[in-house]
Structure 1
Amino acid sequence: MTNTDFSAPRDITPNRMGTAGFTLSLAFIVLSFLYGIISAIIIGAGDSSYKMTDSVFLQFSTILMLNAWLLGLILSVLGLRSHPKGKATAGLIISLLPIISIIGIIGSQISTPISFENELKERKAQVIERIKDVRTAQRAFRAEYQRYAEDFDELERFLHTNPTELRCDIEQLRYIPNSDNEFIMETGFTKTSSNRTGPFIEVRAPYKLFLDTIKYRQEIINLIDEEVNGFDRYPGIKFGSTDEADNDIGNWE
């Protein structure tokens, strides 16, 4: 005798909306992956082999992907109204990933320039403070010898025997803050405006030697281009000039 229990009937109706949404969401991921590979192949082939059919194919693929993503998102949301909700939930999560990625990219594009400006301001201030010490030391050297020290070794030897008020240790004087790089220093003699011979000095710290060129690579490229081509200025911190004697003015002043 068969004992059949009808008191707790089970709902075995499939959630067609959720399944469709999940399937389309997966299709979007697969299409995006294939699109990236095919695009790289087409573009990497060079302009000579890039044809109108390739452009049409890429446009069609983009429309197909967007449709798959949008339908997957809509059907996944509608599928949450029915049971079981597993595939609908998974489809919704997959569909939201591109939105989250776009928000992250936009947030990065907004925050990166702000972070770079803060770093630029802070590090420039530190470099200016150090390069002022170099200038102070060289002025003391010139007052004694009527010329500027040829290099940092000569300048350090002078400072050890002729105490001069500096903000940093003598051994740190040659180094650009936030780096292991030394200031670029040139000294010598040149003609003055009155056709007399006088000592010149130029000490430089290019931006690329004290800014984070890995994290802010493009920002630094843009900054240097703007300084050189936009304002015709030295892309960094410097004082003095190799073209003029008796000139130790800083470009921050």
Structure 2
Amino acid sequence: MNKTVGIIVKILLLGAILALAYFIVIVINKPIKFEKERTRRFDKTINRLKDIRTAQVAYKELYGVYTPDFDTLIDFIKKENIRVVRAIGFVPDTLTEEKALELGIISRDTFYVPIMDSLFNHIDYPIDSLKYIPTGTKSMFIMDTNAVMTGSGVEVKVFQCYALNKEILDGLDHQLIINYNALKKDTCLRVGHLTEANNNAGNWE
């Protein structure tokens, strides 16, 4: 009888040890898996924000302002052309391109190419998805425009586009998202700024 009880106790103890070991592994691995997935999602989101910035800069070059509307921006990318200036000839090391042009050593040729081909020439680039955070959730970026005054009194057109961390990380462990945000100054990934002229910098740069 005592021998049987001893065996049962050993089995229960072994089970408890295995359960504890499993729990410890889960506790250790959860933050590691979270960080790996966070990095993957942030990288994809940053790349999309860079593409939005590229499109906005091209839009402003043509129209003099940024657009707060994604449909307008996407339509612009699909339909408009961008001017490309190419130098024809060889610029000597001792001269600047402008000086070589002035002396007639080189000439310039201006032509136009579709913006889609010039700036978004990736294979099958999903331009219609430009407005969406690329993490499979169909959440949209938030974008707006403004005009701010610099310290020298010059009005500068600006735009801002961002995605909240909680949207980017949607579906991951809720508490780990809270913990991550608590350690960060910004709880979003953002390009540009609405209240200052920051040369369209991203807050990850």
| Correspondent of 2:29 among 99, 106, 111 | 111
- The code of the aligned residue for 2:31 comes to P
TM-score (norm 1): 0.61
| Structure number with larger C-alpha Rg | 1
Output one character per residue of 1:130-182: Cα deviation in whole Å (capped at 9) or x when no partner: 11110000001100111111210111121121224125322011111112111
Q: For residue 136 of structure 1, what is the aligned residue in structure 2?
A: 54
Residue 208 of structure 1, aligned match among 156, 166, 173 = 166
Structure 2 SS opposite 1:202: strand
Distance 2:38 2:138 in 1: 18
| 1:10-89 correspondence runs (5 A) | 15-18=1-4, 21=5, 76=6, 88=7
Alignment root-mean-square deviation, CA: 1.7
Whole-Å separation in 2 of the counterparts to 1:92 and 1:130:
57
Query: Which residue of structure 2 aligns with residue 219 of structure 1?
Result: 176
Once the two structures are TM-superposed, the CA of residue 238 in structure 1 deviates from its matched residue by 1.0
Q: Taking structure 1 as reference, are residues 130 and 198 closer, same or farther at Cα in structure 2, changes over 3 Å only?
A: same
Contact kept? 1:205, 1:236, Cα under 8 Å: yes
For structure 2, which runs of at least 5 residues remain unmatched after alignment?
A: 81-114
User: How many residue pairs get matched?
Assistant: 165
2:21 partner amino acid: I
Contact 2:66–2:145, Cα closer than 8 Å, also in 1: yes
User: Is the aligned partner of 1:99 residue 2:85?
Assistant: no
In the alignment, structure 1 residue 238 sits paired with structure 2 residue 190: yes
Q: What displacement does 1:17 show?
A: 3.0
C-alpha distance in 1 between matches for 2:146 and 2:2: 84
State the secondary structure of the residue aligned to 1:116.
helix
Aligned identity (percent) is 33
Deviation of 1:207 after TM superposition, in Å, equals: 1.3
Q: Kindly provide the amino acid, as one letter, of the partner of residue 148 in structure 2.
A: T
1:119 maps to a residue whose letter is E
* Cα distance in 1, alignment partners of residues 160 and 68 from structure 2: 11
Whether contact under 8 Å (2:148, 2:156) holds in the other structure is: yes
The answer on 1:172 being equivalent to 2:129 is yes
Contact 2:67 2:144 in 1 (8 A): no
Change (3 A) 1:201 1:156: same
Q: Summarize deviations over 1:68-87 as a string: whole Å, max 9, x none.
A: xxxxxxxx2xxxxxxxxxxx
Structure 2 matches for 1:154-193, cutoff 5 A? 154-162=72-80, 163-164=115-116, 165-166=119-120, 167=122, 168-178=125-135, 179-193=137-151
Aligned 8 A contact 1:198 1:246 in 2: no
SS in 2 for 1:247: coil
Q: Deviations over 1:94-132 (max 9, x none)?
A: 332322221111101111111111111111111111111
TM-score (norm 2): 0.74
Higher relative contact order (CA 8 A, sep 6+): 2
Q: Secondary structure of the residue that 1:148 maps to in structure 2?
A: coil
